[in-house]
């Protein structure tokens, strides 16, 4: 065992050396004659333990066998001396032939190197690298050969492993090249201080357009960027070694030959490329074309700005109104309220947005109504209008009319509810004053008019008796005018009662057909120009207020005559089905324009154009109220210039 490279050996090893370095007779003589240097030489040879060193004579018999040989092959010197060298080769190989050729080559050239399979004493084989040297004596006669063999199996394995590694590396490199090539990021490698394109991937060509880049410096390959500071950036990265990161930097690129400069926005990095010696040899440019995102964002920002400006303009405009204007989301939470509403509630916009009526200063009952009306708008897509009184947090009571309107998205779904509220306190007060005034006036008028009527009738009968027919006829006309006055006063009184919720009904069973005949006959007496025809009038018992229903029929007949000055006929039809009785009065007069029809049941409403016909617009309002209170329905079908058909229906008692 060699320690620290010295030639000191254990006793056992020394014995082995003595044994192993057995020499044949010739050699022994030589050894005996050899000098002290030769002894050293033998020791040196034996100290090379990982090489088999032995010699053969001309007959290929082994005549010296070193310690290294004993180690490599497992044979001792005693076993090997005078053995033919063939013992060292696996029998099935061609190595003997090869050996003969090697020896011949060694004779010719002095030495030869090769690689052959060898067999150890234990039968295992190994690939051995061999060097064979020609051995000559002093007289230059060929005495044999020196063989130096080392086990190159490891070297072979190492070479194979190295080969595998190289293949793997190549595959990895190919993968990287593929990634480089097909990756979504653009990438280019620029060499040297002229930034010459060495490589550029597909994404890079997509960015700059298909052009001849490789092998050209940036200034030549992309001339349009020269004036855009790109070269200065590249120079700085190359000289300082500091990477450059560009975020959403705009670059004008001529993406088609001869085309206009196109502005692209890029997120990219210029990184210095360093070689194994830590020297800068170029730049890697890689990044993403983020033009679409940047443009989309800029558009969105622009749009947001416009919306913001518009919202401000709306807010200023809406806040200049006296009406309250506001919006809700589909869950009934405020999304906007103009200043007048904020002032009324004593809140700021931040305090109101996101809250529903229940979370704001509204009485519980009103909050519930308003909230459910908004839900109704969202559900039905229909506008809701209503009125309410409201006392604000500072105790001011007011009357308000409001309208909730749906706002639809492109799929016709309600996305928002817009509302506007008008303060009608003053109007309400004026109206109630007016109602009150009319109530008083009509009440005060009623008594004298009743007296006048009574006196007129007395006078008329006196003149009749006295044979003064002319005066009697005049008093008859006066009586008719007093009737009109009485009906006007009674209409005014009815309105006062309706407004005060005091319209009384005397409900009873009565014959509907009889009532119709009676009222028609009564009205017929008031006109000579029109004939009222009853086309159908089946017998029918109805439960309700006979006088009030008669009042409705009378009003319809009077109107039919009034509003058909050039016609001669009015048609009355009663029809019955299992749940209701329906009466219609049809005339062939002026008719009512479509767009006005929904308003004619409102108080004081008169269709314009009928100004020459007397009236105050209360008859249909009172009729509608009566029919509503009798659980019936009232409606009109009309065409301007052709006439109208007014109808009502009443439920039949089960
Ligand atoms: P008045 O007849 O006193 O004006 P009403 O309430 O009875 O009031 O009618 C309201 C309005 O409806 C009338 O002013 C008139 O314009 C319109 N109207 C009512 N009946 C008819 C009809 N038969 N034909 C045309 N217009 C009618």
Task: For ligand 1, atom 9, name the residue with the nearest CA.
Answer: 617
In the numeric block, which tokens belong to residue 160? 């194979």
pLDDT tens digits, 165-204: 999 989 888 887 787 777 789 999 999 999 999 999 999 9
Beta-bridge mates of residue 93: none
Determine the residue of 495, 615, 627 to mutate for testing ligand 1's pocket, defined as the one with the most ligand atoms within 8 A of the Cβ atom.
Answer: 615
Rounded mean pLDDT of 215-221?
95
Give residue 93's pLDDT band: very low, low, confident or very high (50, 70, 90).
low
Query: Is it the case that residue 253 has pLDDT exceeding 80?
Result: yes
Q: What does the longest C-alpha to C-alpha distance in the chain come to?
A: 200
Q: Is 492 in the pocket of ligand 1 (CB under 6 A)?
A: no
Note whether 650 and 630 are within 8 A (CB).
yes
pLDDT tens digits, 538-549: 999 999 999 999
Q: Which atom of ligand 1 is nearest to the CA of 610?
A: 16
Q: How far is CA 365 from CA 369, 371, 396, 629, in A?
A: 6, 10, 18, 25
pLDDT tens digits, 447-463: 899 999 999 999 999 99
Distance from residue 606's CA to the centre of ligand 1 (Å): 6
Task: For ligand 1, atom 20, name the residue with the nearest CA.
Answer: 559
Q: Within a 10 A sphere around the Cβ of 592, how many other Cβ atoms? A: 22
Q: Which atom of ligand 1 is nearest to the CA of 589?
A: 24
pLDDT for the residue 4: 42
Query: Is it the case that residue 396 has pLDDT exceeding 50?
Result: yes
Task: For residue 262, give the 3-state DSSP assignment.
Answer: strand
What's the chain's Rg over C-alpha atoms?
61
Q: Which atom of ligand 1 is nearest to the CA of 587?
A: 23
Q: Is 616 in the pocket of ligand 1 (CB under 6 A)?
A: yes
Which among 252, 270, 248 is positioned nearest to 261, based on CA atoms? 252
Q: Range with the lowest mean pLDDT among 86-90, 205-209, 466-470?
A: 86-90
Task: For ligand 1, atom 3, name the residue with the nearest CA.
Answer: 615
pLDDT for the residue 12: 45
pLDDT for the residue 27: 52
Distance from residue 628's CA to the centre of ligand 1 (Å): 19
Contacts of 7 (CB under 8 A, 6+ apart): 43, 47
Which among 618, 640, 604 is positioned nearest to 551, based on CA atoms? 618
Query: Is it the case that residue 641 has pLDDT exceeding 60?
Result: yes
Beta-bridge mates of residue 286: 187, 269
Give residue 37's pLDDT band: very low, low, confident or very high (50, 70, 90).
low
Report percent pLDDT > 90 for the chain.
63
Query: Is it the case that residue 51 has pLDDT exceeding 50?
Result: yes
In the numeric block, which tokens belong to residue 460? 């008329």
Distance from residue 570's CA to the centre of ligand 1 (Å): 15
The DSSP letter of residue 425 is: H
Task: For ligand 1, atom 14, name the residue with the nearest CA.
Answer: 606
Task: For ligand 1, atom 2, name the residue with the nearest CA.
Answer: 615
Give residue 6's pLDDT band: very low, low, confident or very high (50, 70, 90).
very low
Query: Is it the case that residue 128 has pLDDT exceeding 70?
Result: yes
Query: Is it the case that residue 140 has pLDDT exceeding 60?
Result: yes
Task: For ligand 1, atom 13, name the residue with the nearest CA.
Answer: 606
pLDDT tens digits, 10-35: 444 444 444 444 444 555 555 455 45
pLDDT tens digits, 261-275: 999 999 999 999 998
Q: Is 55 in the pocket of ligand 1 (CB under 6 A)?
A: no
| DSSP-assigned states of every residue in 480-521 | HHHHHHHHHHHHHHHHHHHHTT------EEEEHHHHHHHHHH
Cα–Cα distance between 3 and 543 in angstroms, integer? Answer: 135
pLDDT for the residue 20: 40
Angle between helices 425-465 and 469-499 (to 10 degrees): 160
Q: Specify the residue for token string 């009815």.
A: 494
Average pLDDT, the chain: 88
In the numeric block, which tokens belong to residue 563? 């509003």
Report percent pLDDT > 70 for the chain.
93
Determine the residue of 532, 552, 559 to mutate for testing ligand 1's pocket, defined as the one with the most ligand atoms within 8 A of the Cβ atom.
Answer: 559
Alpha-helical regions (H) of 420-465: 425-465
pLDDT tens digits, 521-534: 999 998 999 999 99
pLDDT tens digits, 400-440: 999 999 999 999 999 999 999 999 999 888 988 888 888 88
Cα–Cα distance between 56 and 622 in angstroms, integer? Answer: 145
Q: Is 644 in the pocket of ligand 1 (CB under 6 A)?
A: yes
In the numeric block, which tokens belong to residue 261? 């400069």
Contacts of 75 (CB under 8 A, 6+ apart): 65, 69, 87, 121
pLDDT tens digits, 480-501: 899 989 988 999 899 888 888 8
What is the reported pTM? 0.49
Angle between helices 512-524 and 546-562 (to 10 degrees): 40
Q: What angle do CA 363, 367, 369 make, to 5 degrees?
A: 120
Rounded mean pLDDT of 342-369?
94
Cα–Cα distance between 1 and 368 in angstroms, integer? Answer: 105
Distance from residue 574's CA to the centre of ligand 1 (Å): 21
Cα–Cα distance between 572 and 581 in angstroms, integer? Answer: 13
């Amino acid at each position: 065992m060699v320690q620290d490279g010295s030639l000191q050996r254990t006793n056992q090893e020394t014995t082995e050396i003595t044994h192993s370095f057995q020499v044949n007779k010739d050699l022994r003589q030589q050894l005996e004659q050899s000098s002290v240097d030769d002894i050293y030489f033998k020791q040196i040879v034996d100290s090379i333990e990982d090489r088999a060193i032995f010699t053969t004579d001309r007959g290929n018999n082994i005549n010296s066998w070193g310690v290294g040989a004993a180690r490599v092959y497992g044979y001792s010197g005693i076993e090997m001396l005078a053995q033919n060298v063939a013992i060292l080769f696996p029998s099935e190989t061609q190595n003997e032939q090869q050996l003969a050729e090697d020896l011949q080559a060694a004779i010719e050239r002095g030495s030869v190197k090769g690689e052959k399979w060898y067999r150890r004493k234990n039968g295992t084989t190994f690939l051995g690298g061999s060097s064979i040297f020609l051995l000559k004596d002093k007289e230059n006669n060929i005495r044999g050969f020196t063989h130096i063999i080392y086990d190159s199996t490891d070297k072979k394995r190492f070479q194979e492993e190295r080969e595998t590694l190289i293949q793997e590396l190549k595959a990895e490199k190919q993968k990287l090249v593929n990634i480089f090539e097909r990756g979504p990021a653009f990438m280019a490698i620029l060499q040297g201080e002229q930034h010459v394109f060495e490589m550029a991937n597909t994404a890079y060509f997509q960015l700059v357009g298909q052009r001849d880049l490789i092998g050209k410096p940036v200034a030549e390959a992309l001339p349009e960027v020269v004036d855009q500071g790109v070269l200065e950036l590249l120079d700085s990265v190359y000289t300082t070694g500091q990477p450059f990161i560009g975020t959403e930097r705009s670059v004008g690129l001529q993406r088609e030959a001869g085309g206009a400069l196109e502005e692209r926005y890029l997120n990219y990095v210029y990184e210095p490329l360093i070689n194994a010696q830590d020297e800068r040899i170029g730049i890697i440019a890689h990044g993403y074309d983020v033009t679409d995102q940047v443009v989309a964002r800029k558009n969105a920002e622009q749009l947001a700005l416009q919306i913001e400006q518009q919202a401000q303009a709306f807010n200023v405009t809406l806040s200049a109104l006296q009406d309250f204007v506001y919006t809700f989301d589909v869950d009934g939470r405020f999304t906007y309220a103009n200043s007048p509403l904020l002032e009324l509630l004593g809140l700021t916009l931040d305090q109101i947005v996101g809250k529903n009526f229940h979370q704001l200063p509204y009485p519980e009952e009103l909050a519930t109504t308003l909230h459910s009306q908004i839900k109704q708008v969202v559900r039905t897509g229909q506008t809701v209008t209503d009125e309410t009184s409201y006392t604000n947090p500072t105790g001011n009571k007011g009357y308000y009319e409001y309208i909730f309107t749906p706002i639809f998205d492109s799929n016709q779904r309600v996305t928002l509810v817009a509302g506007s509220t008008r303060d009608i306190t003053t109007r309400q007060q004026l109206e109630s004053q007016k109602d009150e005034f009319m109530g008083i006036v009509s009440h005060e008028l009623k008594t004298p008019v009743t007296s006048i009527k009574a006196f007129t009738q007395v006078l008329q009968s006196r003149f009749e008796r006295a044979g003064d027919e002319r005066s009697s006829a005049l008093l008859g006309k006066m009586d008719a005018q007093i009737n009109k006055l009485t009906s006007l006063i009674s209409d005014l009184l009815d309105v006062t009662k309706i407004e005060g919720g005091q319209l009384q009904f005397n409900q009873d069973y009565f014959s509907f057909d009889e009532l119709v005949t009676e009222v028609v006959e009564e009205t017929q007496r008031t006109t000579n120009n029109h004939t009222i025809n009853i086309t159908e009038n089946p017998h029918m018992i109805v439960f309700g207020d006979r006088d009030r229903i008669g009042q409705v029929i009378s009003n319809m007949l009077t109107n039919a005559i009034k509003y058909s000055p050039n016609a001669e006929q009015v048609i009355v039809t009663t029809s019955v089905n299992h749940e209701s009785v329906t009466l219609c009065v049809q005339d062939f007069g002026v008719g009512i324009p479509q767009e006005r029809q929904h308003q004619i049941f409102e108080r004081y409403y008169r269709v314009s154009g009928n100004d020459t016909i007397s009236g105050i617009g209360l008859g249909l309002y009172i009729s509608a109220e009566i029919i509503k209170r009798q659980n019936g329905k009232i409606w009109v079908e009309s065409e301007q210039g052709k006439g109208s058909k007014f109808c009502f229906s009443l439920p039949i008692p089960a």
